[in-house]
Amino acid sequence: MGQRAVTLIGSIAVLSVVIAATMIPARAQGKSAADIYGDKCAVCHGADGAGKTARGKKLKVEDVRDTSKKFNVAQMTDVVTKGKGENMDGFAKDLTPAQISAVVDYYRGLAAKK
């Protein structure tokens, strides 16, 4: 194998890694906080944040008004980033820090709508 072939294969490998790394948050790029919340959170927390979905009731998800009183923004951001217990996955691999912040703000904003 010639030097050019080795260089080409190395370049392709590096390019593949770069493309894969940039695609991780791409699944959620361009979506609003409401869309992301609807896709990733509402199944348990409910569209209105009340936690009254079938899964939310099973997991004893608290109403957003109660959660917002117990946890500050930084604590909620940490939960969304890292997950909570065995029932809530973290979203650090799926969402950018800015998207996580927007989702936390959106969720906390649901308390004001109640």
Q: How far apart are CA 59 and CA 109, in angstroms?
A: 22
Q: What is the pLDDT of residue 2?
A: 63
Number of domains, the chain: 1
Residue 5 included in any domain: no
Residue 17 included in any domain: no
Q: What is the CATH number of the domain that holds 78?
A: 1.10.760.10
Structural domain of residue 66, as residue ranges? 25-112
Residue 75 included in any domain: yes
Residue 1 included in any domain: no
Residue 90 included in any domain: yes
- CA neighbor of 114 nearest in space, from 19, 18, 20, 50: 50
Tell me the per-residue pLDDT of 25-36, one tens digit each, with 9 for 90 and over: 444 568 999 999
**Are the C-beta atoms of 82 and 90 separated by less than 8 Å?**
yes
pTM over 0.75: no
Tell me the per-residue pLDDT of 25-71, one tens digit each, with 9 for 90 and over: 444 568 999 999 999 999 999 999 999 999 999 999 999 999 999 99
Q: How far are the Cα atoms of 1, 5, 50, 54, 64 from residue 46, in angstroms, in the given order?
A: 58, 54, 6, 9, 10
